[in-house]
Structure 1
Amino acid sequence: MDSKDASRAETGRRPDEEWDWPSSSLLGGLGQAERDRLLTLGARMRYPAERVLIREGDETDFVLILLDGLVKVTGRADDGRDALLAVRVGGDVVGELAAVDGQPRSATVTACGPVLARSVTRVDFLACTRREPRIAHALHQTVVAKLRAATTHRVTFTGCDAATRVARVLHHLAMTYGDPVGAGAEIRWPITQPELATLAGASEPSVQKALRGLKKAGVVTPGYRSIRVDDLDRLSEIAYPER
């Protein structure tokens, strides 16, 4: 067994050459030469599920370049609840805002399963972006994409009832992060009903009612901290009836 096979057997993750980073991510949007240079920075780190990688309010400034796995980004709401702000996958970068402006962390980042990443100091990361204009441009594009996504999220939810907002959140999560299963997809990473409520801008009772309706219609099957979408086409019709 060679080193790559041993790594696969030990972690269950894919070897480097099989990583299929999304084109919208920092790594996925770079050319091979720039990607290789970026991946020489820092140290490779493995994190277990549920590990807090970055904590809101901390005055740390390292950057994590996600190679494999999935993390959730949360922020503390005024009522004390943790609001789910975003999900990031392999190919994405997290912690870049603190690296750029030197301010305390604006959110908490938690591993939703085993995560492999490169941890890069602020000094090394900024030096790289100064030396490599294409990497700097790709970083700017990812930041802008995140801002656009946040704006679209707000606009899309304006004027919708709670059930429609829940359906739209589930459809987005299934299409973006779900694993295809038959006519649907499974969202395997742990998502709680309070987190779903914050994403949908709805109360927990409203989320529970919406999930019951979707389950009765044979569209979704809620599980313990996971959700399976049984019929993506039908979920799309419910989420976007005007299409």
Structure 2
Amino acid sequence: MDSQVVTKAPLFSALDRAAAERLMDSMTPHRLSRGDIVFREGDQGDSLYVIASGKIKLARTSGDGRENLLSVLGPGEMFGELSLFDPGPRVSTAYVISHTELISLGNDALRTVLSEHPEVAMQMLAGLAHRLRLTNEGISDLVFTDVPGRVAKALLDLSDRFGRRTEAGLLVGHELTQEELAQLVGASRETVNKALADFAHRGWLILGAKAVTLVDLDRLRRRAR
């Protein structure tokens, strides 16, 4: 497990190296495969999780069974911490979308950490505020931005966290199905596929299996506005 990746999470960022390593040693490791579920919507929240490697998607299900993909998280990111500040059932289901390593900390142990290191609470609240800001932006995009613009913005966001430079461009191994990518931008699969095909035709990107190579970032950024 890469400790340098893990300590990027807000839970560790306010701690010195020795305190961060002690906390990491006290946490429970988990190794999961694609399709595994960390927790389900409605479960009682009793732990937070930090991603050491791999990817997790957070999704909600409507009353008629439709699924809404809220976010895709990767190494160094944290989830499940809302249950500490707002005790109650989980508001989403956490699915594993690639081989993933996690470490978890129970709420009781976390409260002890926060009492000993109150600066950690400020970092965690800052992380929650950032996530809330992204949620508000997503709501605005659904109202004011067309589907191609939302697709471009989603690809750029995924590239910031999962992109890897290659000779062809910025390779983004998002590992999402076409349906999952459509859920992420709040549109039908057909409309999202049409937007992707148009971007590919224009030479802005190269489509792959659960991956995309971004070739013209400037044009994608302008389209995302």
What are the equivalent positions in structure 2 for 1:14-93 lying under 5 Å apart? 15-16=2-3, 19-20=4-5, 25-26=9-10, 29-33=13-17, 34-93=19-78
Q: Classify the secondary structure of the residue corresponding to 2:144.
A: coil
Amino acid at match of 2:193: Q
2:95 to 94, 110, 135: 110
What per-residue deviation string (whole Å, max 9, x for no partner) do you get for residues 168-210 of structure 1? Answer: 2212222233222246322213212222222222222211211
Query: Does 1 or 2 have the higher relative contact order (CA < 8 Å, sep 6+)?
Result: 2
The count of corresponding residues between Structure 1 and Structure 2 is 224
CA contact (8 A) 1:188 1:227 kept: yes
CA displacement 1:197-225 (0-9 Å, x = unmatched): 22222222211211110111122222222
Q: 1:60 to 1:28 in 2, by over 3 A?
A: closer
User: Would you say the 8 A contact 2:206–2:215 is kept in 1?
Assistant: yes
- Paired residues of 1:69 and 1:90 also in contact (CA < 8 A): yes
Sequence identity percentage: 27
In the aligned structure 1, how far is the partner of 2:60 from the partner of 2:85? 19
Higher mean alpha-carbon deviation, 153-162 vs 111-120, is at 153-162
Answering whether residue 150 of structure 2 is matched by residue 165 of structure 1, we say yes
Q: Aligned to 1:126, which of 98, 107, 111?
A: 111
- Is 1:218 matched up with 2:211? no
Question: CA 1:197–1:178 in 2, change beyond 3 Å: closer, same or farther?
Answer: same
Q: Which structure 2 residues correspond to residues 172-187 of structure 1 after superposition, within 5 A?
A: 172-182=157-167, 184-187=169-172
Q: What is the CA deviation profile of residues 133-167 of structure 1, one whole-angstrom value per residue up to 9, with x for unaligned ones?
A: 01111111111111011112223453222222212
- Residue type at the aligned position of 1:30: A
**Aligned pairs for 1:4-19 within 5 A:** 15-16=2-3, 19=4
Cα contact 2:170–2:215 (8 A) shared by 1: yes
Task: Find the counterpart in structure 2 of residue 99 from structure 1.
Answer: 84
Q: How does 1:183-194 map to 2 (within 5 A)?
A: 184-194=169-179
Q: Secondary structure at the match of 2:26?
A: coil
Deviation for aligned residue 1:60: 4.2
1:65–1:165 CA distance, 2 compared to 1 (3 A): closer
Q: Distance in 2 between matches of 1:77 and 1:184?
A: 37
Equivalent pair of 1:73/1:85 in contact (CA under 8 Å): yes
Whether the aligned pair in 2 keeps the contact of 1:41 and 1:118 (CA below 8 Å) is: no
Counterpart of 1:203 in structure 2 is 188
State the distance in 2 between where 1:202 and 1:117 align: 31
5+ long unaligned stretches in structure 2: none
Distance in 2 (alpha carbons) for counterparts of 1:158 and 1:132: 41
Segments of structure 1 that go 5 or more residues without pairing to the other structure are: 1-13
